[in-house]
Amino acid sequence: MSKVIAQLSISLDGFYAGPRDDEPNWFKSTEAAGFFRVTRWVTEAMAWRDRQHLAGGEQDVHSEIVAESFERPGAYVMGRRMFDGGERPWGEEPPFRNPVFVVTHRERERLERLGGTSFEFVTDGLESAIEQARAAAGGKEVAIAGGGTIIKQALELGLLDEIELHIVPVILGAGQRLLDVDLDVREGLELVPERTVATPEVTHIRYRVEGRKPLVLDDRGGKYPGLGEETA
């Protein structure tokens, strides 16, 4: 079965964008400045610029990671808000070059674009969108492209097999935080690091998602006998 993967750039304090608002021009919104800061490493990469039909860019380790992120998926899932924000900037030839399944409450006809990208609008939830993406992926992986809200939902529902965080050394202080997932106070969502690529601009860490596990008290090697037991 195809793995479900995701990636996101975040600040050191865990934000992937500034505070959400309803400014019609997204580029003037409170979200944009923080988002642009944590994704700067992407837009300076040659692989990203090439995919957007832009000249220039750096051919470096960041570009290699961007190129890999485009090569792995055979299909994508994204939220409607991300689609609405990207439809015009992506133009007639979006960068995905694979089927994209958009999770939405608003019906819309299938949209075909150049370069192999199509957008299918799924109105019966994230799990259905993932299953449809798996069927379309041709044995390759399914990438949840974003935004952060739908990646967080996939984490909460246990639908992600892998997540790669691109941690940028900046503190934003406020905004939309990826890892505020809904967990019981006595459980944690366990991750296993599988790859780390550290640079001055950003640290890329790929995690395997192990899932929810109980938080268990231990006796600290016998130093605290009876830890966790009720006292009189």
If one compares 175 and 1, the residue with the highest pLDDT of the two is: 175
pTM above 0.85, yes or no: yes
pLDDT digit string, tens, across residues 17-59 = 999 988 888 888 899 999 999 999 999 999 999 999 999 999 9
Question: Which residues lie below 8 Å from residue 85, measured CB to CB, with a gap of 6+?
Answer: 26
pLDDT of residue 28: 86
Query: pLDDT tens digits for 57-100?
Result: 999 999 999 999 999 999 999 999 999 989 999 999 999 999 99
Q: State phi, psi for 121 to the nearest 5 degrees.
A: -100, 120
Superfamily of domain 4-222: Dihydrofolate Reductase, subunit A (3.40.430.10)
Split at pLDDT 50, 70, 90, the class of 222 is confident
> For residue 232, what pLDDT is reported?
45
Distance CA 39, CA 31 (A): 13
Geometric angle at alpha carbon 88, from 7 and 85, rounded to 5°:
45
